[in-house]
Structure 1
């Protein structure tokens, strides 16, 4: 969902300026107070509109257009801050590396439009089964990430099971198989950098994929 940061900031600044001008006019020029409301309202509406392009640009810089998840750029920007915060609190983080199984076959068999719908559906499933503290990212074409502070075995097993079960139901609904392979790695136990933890989680995911084939 697109946030309103730009519109809110520029509108608040505008309201402040209108209030200053209004007070100045009342104190020094005896301007009746009731002459300002309509002008002030018009200014606020104009400023709100002017803030919209900033919000749209910020949204597109942080979000994947197709799935509305956070994108690779946002993950690369946010990751150092999240890891620094985790280290300060002496917390661990788990990174899930999620790859769509046989996605090329889905595209080749059913077309790219259906392929896009599959990615959107998977993104929705991942979001539904993540907590508010989790960061869900579309990393590449058919690759997704979830960064979570819930590193215990029960939370891990529960999340993976819930995702797989819902995708199984989606497969029955669409009459073709939708599944994902999910690898994981824990910071700082297995790696201390984004590249490092991605590599470990990616290797874990491929090991599981090969084991299932």
Structure 2
């Protein structure tokens, strides 16, 4: 059992015991002083474990730097999204987003500046996507956006919006930060997340290459 599973079990047991003791007290009025003191201990413990559970849940779902979803959460969630899209007979789009020349930003300005760029990018991607979409940091300067229930025309519109979303203004940054974006369609191209990301990544690099040649 993982950490979250253990914490969940502890919270459940403590809460169950506390509820049972309260029920006995209210119905039978046989709870003595010792039991009442136990209640006073159990309920705060349940609260503290609940807070700990929330913290662990966030760690399991969110990227520590940017606050968007992390890779592991999307990998666990994606099969459920596929099943839902199949049930509703809707398409599921997977976008791959990459910051152009991010290494240059880190090397020229600082890694702290690079982190600020990633945080601002995460915020802008979240604002550009809808509340039903999932924005995740995949690693380094790469992000994934999962978009349920749309079509390829919607994908092209969102691709343009995501590609023009980044307009970061930092005092020490003398250049614009550009994004490259590619996408793949589930189930038309695949229902496997890895394969969809490979296809989206290939299209993203094709766009990056064409931008550099313009």
Instruction: Normalising by structure 2, report the TM-score.
Output: 0.81
Aligned to 1:18: 18
Structure 1 residue 40: Cα displacement: 4.5
Distance in structure 2 (CA, Å) of the matches to 1:114 and 1:201: 27
In structure 2, C-alpha distance between the alignment counterparts of 1:30 and 1:175, rounded to whole Å: 71
Task: Report deviation, 1:46.
Answer: 2.4
Distance 1:153 1:192, change over 3 A: closer
Aligned to 1:112: 111
The secondary structure found in structure 1 opposite 2:96 is strand
**Residue of structure 2 in register with 1:101 after alignment:** 100
How far 1:71 moved relative to its partner?
1.3
Relative distance call for 1:143 and 1:39 in structure 2 (3 A) is same
Query: Matches of 1:28 and 1:172 in 2, distance apart?
Result: 66
My pick for the range that moved more, 203-212 or 45-54, is: 45-54
Change (3 A) 1:43 1:211: same
- Secondary structure at 2:138 match in 1: strand
Aligned to 2:206: 207
Gaps of 5+ in 2: 1-5
Distance 1:121 1:100, change over 3 A: same
Partner of 2:186: 187
Question: Cα RMSD over matched residues?
Answer: 3.0
Between the aligned partners of 2:52 and 2:126, the Cα distance in structure 1 is: 27
CA pair 128-24 structure 1, distance change in 2 beyond 3 A: same
Deviation string 1:53-90 (CA, Å, 9 cap, x unpaired) is 33322321222111111111112211122112211221
Q: Distance in 2 between matches of 1:204 and 1:164?
A: 13
Structure 1 unmatched ranges of 5 or more: 1-5
Kept in 1, the 8 Å contact 2:94–2:200? The answer is yes
SS in 2 for 1:183: strand
* Aligned counterparts of 1:205 and 1:139: Cα–Cα separation in 2: 15
Q: Which moved more, 1:117-126 or 1:187-196?
A: 187-196
Q: How many residue pairs are counted as aligned between the two chains? A: 205
Instruction: Give, in whole Å, the separation in 1 of the partners of 2:141 and 2:60.
Output: 19
CA deviations over 1:1-40 (Å, ceiling 9, x no partner): xxxxx999966764553343234345253869xx95x975
C-alpha distance in 2 between matches for 1:128 and 1:64:
17
Q: Cα 1:172–1:20, aligned 2, differ >3 Å: closer, same or farther?
A: closer
> Which secondary structure does the structure 2 equivalent of 1:29 belong to?
coil
Q: Find out whether 1:29 has 2:30 as its counterpart.
A: yes
Other-structure match for 2:143: 144
